[in-house]
Amino acid sequence: MPNIKSAAKAMRISGRRRLRNKSVRSATRTYVTRAVKLISGSQPDAAQEAVTRAVRALDTAAQKGVIHANAAARSKSRLVKKLNAALSSAQ
């Protein structure tokens, strides 16, 4: 427990930010997981929509500083690469 007033305030603020970031990070992970599952399934249209939603969530998380911008770019690249591989093998 902090002894200094400013440290106590910083702790309260970081707690609020942690909770806000937790929900964004959790939602982003959910969208990415759904997209990966749909890519491995046999639903190309649903997979494409899920990837679009996951990319949007990753961009939002990176913009808010929840995840690093390079981590978001790497995840987006891997997702789109998986989607393109699945779409090309389906044809």
61-83 tens-digit pLDDT: 999 999 999 999 999 999 999 99
pLDDT confidence of residue 19: 95
Q: What is the mean pLDDT of residues 46-67?
A: 96
pLDDT of 42 above 90 = no
State the fold for domain 5-90: Methane Monooxygenase Hydroxylase; Chain G, domain 1 (1.20.58)
**Domain residues of the chain, as ranges?**
5-90
Residue 30 φ then ψ, to 5°? -65, -45
11-33 tens-digit pLDDT: 999 999 999 999 999 999 999 99
Tokens representing 62 are 């990176």
C-alpha–C-alpha distance, residues 3 and 90, integer Å: 62
